[in-house]
Amino acid sequence: MSRILVTGANGGIGLEIARELAQKGNEVLITSRDLAKGKDAQSKLGDEGLAVTLFKLDVGSEPSVEELAEQLATEYTYLDGLVNNAGVFQDQHTSLENVQMDVFRQTLETNFYGPLLLIRNLLPLLRKSGDARVVNLSSGLGALNEMGGGYPSYRISKTAMNAMTAIFGAELSKDAIQVNAVCPGWVQTDMGGAGATRTVEQGADTPVWLMTEERRLLPQGKFLRDRQVIDW
Ligand code: NAP
């Protein structure tokens, strides 16, 4: 059994990742920026016979990240997994020329600086695992090899997340901490919308696999979709 933290797990892909990790017998810690929504998710999972522990976290706030890390350090001696799932998609209808700078900054704070700070602050606990894994929920929209127009701050936040994944992958191998990024595909969630082609189960599959598969079978510092390494 591993102890795994999933951010933004009050809905969407994060909730499904938390559900499946708990179904597989792991100790799951979920976070939500809104405790009422987090409690709803916790009781939904409880009704399914799955006990998870809830923490408050606004990933776009450095003090909130630090507060969570301190709280976890007082309550636990180690952490086996971190799923950086929380994210925002706020610039669907604009261009790099016109995107409002506050939207740009907020997107980077949530989708890039938040995951970066969370990894940095949780490294002491992750180092104590011996088989720690970090999964970053990224997007094909951030892949340079297929970069196009539109969604500018979202794309750039995920490109930065991908670079962070490769760098941490290289730097943390010596600590037995596996770091990978995943594109879940276009998933039916609040973010993905009604037209999305994939279910939350399909979106959660690769992150759950990376958390639970035997370590020697997994890549390090790579970008994956459907359990396969893809181009950055
Ligand atoms: P979602 O349904 O919109 O859920 C996003 C989650 O992130 C929610 O729990 C949300 O909380 C949380 N969140 C947003 N900002 C936060 C903040 N500042 N602090 C803490 N939590 C915050 O989205 P999703 O589709 O499940 O997406 C999950 C991840 O997959 C994201 O990183 C997304 O970029 C990525 N992804 C999704 C798709 C897709 O098609 N859906 C495609 C590619 C990548 P609230 O409920 O409080 O807003």
Q: What pLDDT is stored for residue 1 in this prediction?
A: 86
The pLDDT tens digits of the residues spanning 104-148 come to 999 999 999 999 999 999 999 999 999 999 999 999 999 999 999
The pLDDT tens digits of the residues spanning 179-228 come to 999 999 999 999 999 999 999 999 999 999 999 999 999 999 999 999 99
Assess whether the C-beta atom of 13 lies below 6 angstroms from ligand 1: yes
CA 25 vs. chain centroid, Å, equals 20
Average per-residue pLDDT for the chain: 98
- Of 5, 6, 7, 13, the one to substitute when testing ligand 1's pocket (max ligand atoms within 8 A of C-beta) is 13
Res 64 pLDDT > 90: yes
Question: Residue range 52-66: average pLDDT?
Answer: 98
Q: What pLDDT is stored for residue 107 in this prediction?
A: 98
- Of 189, 201, 223, the one to substitute when testing ligand 1's pocket (max ligand atoms within 8 A of C-beta) is 189
Assess whether the C-beta atom of 37 lies below 6 angstroms from ligand 1: yes
Burial 156-186 (b: 16+ CB within 10 A, else e): bbbbbbbebbbebbeebeeeebbbbbbbbbb
Kindly give the distance from the C-alpha atom of residue 86 to the centroid of ligand 1, in angstroms, as a whole number: 4
Active site residue 154: yes
The pLDDT tens digits of the residues spanning 76-93 come to 999 999 999 999 999 999
